[in-house]
Amino acid sequence: MNYISPKEEMLKAKRWSKDMIAAGRGHTVALKSDGKVMAVGWNEYGQCNVSDWRDIVAIAAGCAHTVGLKLDGTMVAIGDNTYGQCDVGSWRNIRLPGK
């Protein structure tokens, strides 16, 4: 018998891509097949405020921040920036391994 967890049911209901999910300390981020990003959970530093991100091809989540790689090779980040972990706005030509 297959077991489907409540989180899997949530992903199906919201049509999130299960191929691109990242988890931080208390938040979970999902990359949808259309390049949009969704997040749920602890949002004290705004790390879940990703609904306006577009053309994202990869995501990562830290303790209290979220990072996205855009199709054009630039990066976006949001959340706790105490140590400069969100200062990626000037990064260019970033590629996924093997691409």
Are 26 and 1 within 8 A, CB to CB?
Answer: no
Q: CA 22, CA 85: separation in Å to the nearest integer?
A: 16
Query: What is the residue extent of each domain of the chain?
Result: 12-79
pLDDT at 33: 87
Give average pLDDT by consecutive 10-residue segment, the chain, 99 residues: 50 60 95 92 97 95 96 96 94 78
pLDDT at 44: 97
What is the token pair recorded at 91?
């990064």
pLDDT at 95: 81
